[in-house]
Amino acid sequence: MTQSPRKSSRRSISASFIARAGLMAALALIFSYIEAIIPYNPGIPGIKLGIANVVTVVALYKFGAKDAVAVSVIRVVLAGLLFNGLFGMLYALAGAAVSLTGMILLKKTGLFSVTGVSMAAGVLHNMGQLLVAAALIEDLRIFFYFPVLMFSGIAAGILVGIASALVLRSLR
């Protein structure tokens, strides 16, 4: 009786999964770091390219949802502890949760290309953060940021999507 759950958990988390997820999380963390040290400031908060998400998208398409979730969560938690602080980490986790859910669902429909899925993820990520910000600040005026975040999410998502599609093509 006690053995069956242990067996199943051993089957679901294999050594190769851990190694793969660790490797990709490390790669994504480096991207986060590079993005954090690039001195560009668009002047409006919340606008970011999010190059690290290339790794998440590639993981989703190459290895599946579980890898993508693992890479994303590890990366966000570590980047939060290293660069962004705890508060930033909460926002990023909310954004990551919303955008991962959206990506997995959109990919399942089979209608969208990598670029389209990534574009949706970029928008959803920003919307998730906006919702958390609105809930924390308890002020709906923050929705003035909605259009800005929408368009920046579309642009960043498309760029990340094209980069991911190129990476996926050479990995094939």
Partner 1 sequence: MCYNDANKVNNYMKQYIRKADIILFIVLVVTGLAVSAALTFSHGAAGTGSEVIIESGGDLYATYPLSEDRTVVVPSPKQRASDAPAADHSDEPFAQYDHYNVVVISGGSVSVTEASCKNQVCVKHSAISRSGESIVCLPNRLVVRIDSGSEEGGGYDSVTS
Q: How many residues sit in the footprint of partner 1 (CB under 8 A)?
A: 36
Cα distance between the two ends of the chain:
43
Angle, helix 15-37 to helix 53-62, in steps of 10 degrees:
150
User: Dihedral, CA atoms, 67, 72, 74, 80, nearest 10 degrees?
Assistant: 180
CB 75 within 8 A of CB 29: yes
The interface mask with partner 1, positions 80-119, x = CB under 8 A, is ----x--xx--x-----------------x-xxxxxx--x
Of residues 38 and 87, the one with the C-beta less far from partner 1: 87
What radius of gyration, in Å, describes the C-alpha atoms of the chain? 17
Map residues 117-136 to x or -, x wherever contact with partner 1 holds by CB under 8 A.
--xx--x-----xx--x--x
Q: Give the nearest distance from C-beta 12 to partner 1 in angstroms.
A: 30
Residue at token pair 């994303």: 72
Which is nearer to partner 1, 69 or 133 (by Cβ)?
A: 133
Residue ranges of the alpha helices (H) in 80-145?
Answer: 85-109, 114-137
Ramachandran assignment for 42, one of left (phi > 0), alpha (psi -120 to 50 degrees), beta (any other): alpha
Of 21 and 79, nearer to partner 1 (C-beta) is 79
Nearer to partner 1, 31 or 91 (CB): 91
Nearest distance from C-beta of residue 46 to partner 1, angstroms = 4
Interface residues with partner 1 (CB under 8 A) are 45-46, 84, 87-88, 91, 109, 111-116, 119-120, 123, 129-130, 133, 136-137, 139, 141-147, 150-151, 154, 162, 165, 168-169
